[in-house]
Structure 1
Amino acid sequence: MATVAVVGAGVTGLVTAIGCARAGHRVRVLERGPVPNPASTSSDQHRALRVLRPDDVDGTARMAEARRWWAELESLLRKDFVRPVGVVTAGTPDELERAFDTAAQAGVPATAVVPGTLPPVLFPDGTSGVFDPGGAVLLADRFLRAAVGWLAAHPAVTLHPDCPVAGIGDHQVVLADGAVVGADAVLVAGGPWTAGLTGPPVVLHRQTMVYLRPPPHLAAWWASAPGVGRIGADGRAWLLPPGGGALLKISSDAVCREVTTTNPDPDRDREPWAGRLLAEPILAGAEDYAVVAVRDCHYATDAVTGGPVLARIHPSVWSRSACGGSGFGAAPLVAREILGGVNDKECV
């Protein structure tokens, strides 16, 4: 039995904590705010769980495995937080041909979608869609609450809310009050500021999202609608449908920008970007949709590759900065890699 310290009670930290506890290890979860923390990067109404990754056969196979893990977690926690509505990805004929080839090689299902079958959604000119039936919408906040409830009841797990961390070393976590927590393995997954504790260098991004309420005459249609991606003026927008208590959410990399802090000035920064997002050609009859909320999210990418980061800082320390939408989908894969190291005693 090992002792695992998890810094950060977001999706990656909680999924890893669950996996370690189920494997018989002692787990301590340290979170700088409440648990779950409504101000965390993971806190949101919903996130996409995509399986099909066009042009990436290995990535598609990995995400199919992660999707199975999410189904297992839903069963374990005895809460419904995965809406299996699928995900549609828009593309040109050449792009869709490659997407279908990827699906065939990875052994996952995929079907063609004609834009007219999703009338409220605007597809870019010259595109249609590929439907990924394994894709889903994950009710993020519902999962976080369920995971915390399960961990709080587990005898091998201790939750430490309001416990800021000042430093990380091999086999140890240094708290802000100077106390030292020893552990056989440490996962630092405390948000985009994780790099400030452990490295490696990352680039911080801010993205504005808008939450909408569909008009009443479309409420029934949206109740079973899939997620849709690669739409908008330049194919960089995504929407997640309402359902399970969540609103309709739209986002786009067109309003994503590099920043140096997670503390913006909302009056100066948020509203202009929300206006740009609402002007994107995403929804037919967009003026009929009521804007309910606007929110900024933050994520980090590797300063060299531009991709998500999972780094082994010391033999006993892993670092996972918040990496946006892909963070939820890949969380079970990160947890498995860390658990494998703990079980094989690679961190000792």
Structure 2
Amino acid sequence: AFTVRATLGLETKLLGINGLSMKIDGTTVQSIGGEHYNSSTNGHSGYEIVKDPETTRFSQGYLQYKLGKTTAKAGRQIINLDNERFVGSVDWRQMMQSFDAAVISDSTINNLTLTGAYVWGIKGITDLPASETDSIVLNGSYKINDMLKVSAYDYILSSLHDTMGLALTGNLPVSIAKIDYRAEYAHQGDASRDTDGGIVNAQADATYYNLDALANISGVLVGAGYEVLSGTSGSDGKTAFSTPLATLHKFNGWADKFLTTPTGGLCDASATLGYTAPGLGKAMIVYHDFETDKAMAGKSDLGTEWDLLYTNAIPGIKGLSALAKAAYYQGGDVALNTKDVTKIWLQLGYKF
């Protein structure tokens, strides 16, 4: 798929009222040479899936009011919380995910950030109509120091599930290295809200935990991680842990094999090696070993994956950057996850 994306935005003050403003962003995604790929909505089922359909829309459009360190927004907007594992704008795809929502964020107390949102619509990355919802998003974080920030959240997704969690993050200076870490636990329970006409999932009882660290040793990057989204045997009527509003491409391999959690859950053991330096850009290689949390028909191997990335600013033109990226997934023995997948991306970006 050969596509081009352009986003133009307008932000202006309103009515001469201090702190009141409006922002509108328009985004268009067009293919070059025709849609010779399966965008998942264009009917080209004979091609491989690349979820970047041709579309043009208002990607953001909201009113904003700022008073001190409190900000209120209402309208279509992007929402990125923490590391985007639960709520994100999916910026990797050509069209972002945006939310029809009313959001209030406050940082009046030093080092404490509180965010609350009521979401009534979700506009995904494809050209399908916005999904109606009746959801509440709550997130708070307190930074004790550079070595420790505590974040807590409650994501109440109507007709799906309620997710409560706690994350510890920070940067640890250890000898010649700086180590960024994340330790997180969350539990997913029955939905407490229902979209009009929706069916409440009364069988949600799943857990999530993650531990990862990345050390920077004079530009050399070394990391490891272990993430678990619990699953089900398939016969107890319950569901696997899921994060439907996340920036999913960032997690569990760039081949996008696990945008939906397998029924048996997902255990992802990963290792990272890379290098970054001013002028030289950033290079990374990531290895993933996938297994189910619970065996399916006696099988648990979900495959392995190698991911490669190089990105750098192009000298001489301010705002111009290039990226090369590849993913090679080798299938396992669990049904629906036996096929190998190879993906390669080349990207130019210009911001002004």
TM-score (norm 2): 0.26
TM-score (norm 1): 0.27
User: Greater CA radius of gyration, 1 or 2?
Assistant: 2
Relative contact order: is structure 1 or structure 2 higher (C-alpha 8 Å, sep ≥ 6)? 1
- The answer to which structure has the higher strand fraction is 2
- The answer to which structure has the higher helix fraction is 1
